[in-house]
Amino acid sequence: MTYGKANKNDIPLLVDLRIKYLLEDYGNLSEDKLTTITSNLYPYFEVHLNKDLFVFVCKDADIIVSCCFLCVFEKPSNPSFINGKTGTILNVYTKPEYRKNGIAGTLLKMLIDESENLELDFLELKATASGYNLYKSIGFEDAVSKYHNMKFIINSDNI
């Protein structure tokens, strides 16, 4: 098993793992949604990989068996993010036959090290029930805020 950062040659494997993650997280998706998501992922990775998206992977031979994504955002500085740079963790995924071997934890620690090198102020994520204890064991805390987490849906047909 080897650990490292994904590169452009890994994009087809990253698309595959992203789809596997989404199918586990959302359940069945229509063929139209899967086709649209897949076709959107290729150009997204081409533009963002190793710029403002960093993907940490574990490979068994030439196959990626686990990954985690770090999306870096830069915004105007404030007291909560003095450097103006934050990170969002997405798509922490390990193929079922490789789970419970510490792979995701190792990748997350690599991601945290990279976040420190990038001088991010904090990392955030939305934990699934199956990932919650892993994140807690690494040091993530439940976010408590005086603000309400809200969203405005632009195109409900895509949800």
- Domain extent listing, the chain: 2-139
Over residues 82-96, the pLDDT tens digits come to: 999 999 999 999 999
pLDDT tens, position by position, 23-52: 999 988 999 999 999 999 999 999 999 999
**Span 123-131, mean pLDDT?**
91
Measured between alpha carbons, how far is 63 from 36 in angstroms, rounded to an integer?
A: 24
In this prediction, residue 158 carries a pLDDT of: 60
Two structure tokens written together for 152: 């405005």
- Give the C-alpha separation, 130 to 151, whole Å: 25
Cα–Cα dist 17/98, whole Å: 13
CB 15 within 8 A of CB 42: yes
DSSP 113: H
Report in angstroms the alpha-carbon separations of 4 from 64, 67, 130.
10, 10, 24
Looking at the chain, the number of H-run helices and the number of E-run strands are 4, 5
Confidence of residue 98 (pLDDT cuts 50, 70, 90): very high
Which fold, 2-139? Aminopeptidase (3.40.630)
Alpha-carbon distance values, 134 to 55, 106, 112, 155 (Å): 18, 11, 14, 34
**What pLDDT is stored for residue 39 in this prediction?**
97
Q: Reply yes or no on whether the pLDDT at 137 is more than 90.
A: yes
Two tokens, residue 7: 């590169």
Confidence of residue 149 (pLDDT cuts 50, 70, 90): confident
